[in-house]
Amino acid sequence: MKPQNLIRAVPMFVLIPFGFYLLAAAVFGHIPANPNWREPDARESGAITIFVQSNGVHTGVVLPAGLGTWRAYGWGDRQNENY
């Protein structure tokens, strides 16, 4: 095989699998995982409010721990009483 043909063939070994990946993502991304799901009515389900905190890089959740107290769980925190 000539070097010129090899130089042309190498990018195709990268571009063709990447193209198949993009095609699969486009096709399978349109298949719904749970099409019948509906958000429950908060008044009837006894919903509990939670918060999501972010510092721009990591996220965590803040959950109620009792009357007026909150507990944050996030990146590297097992328990954080500051909230």
Q: What is the pLDDT of residue 1?
A: 61
The string of DSSP codes covering 48-69 is ---EEEE-SS-EEEEEEEETTE
Edge to edge, what strands does the sheet with 69-73 contain? 51-54, 59-66, 69-73
Tokens standing for residue 29 = 């991304």
The answer to whether the beta carbons of residues 71 and 81 sit under 8 Å apart is yes
pTM for this one?
0.42
Q: What is the pLDDT of residue 14?
A: 83
Q: What is the pLDDT of residue 11?
A: 80
Where the chain has pLDDT below 50, the residues are: none
Ordered by start, the domain boundaries in the chain are 3-73
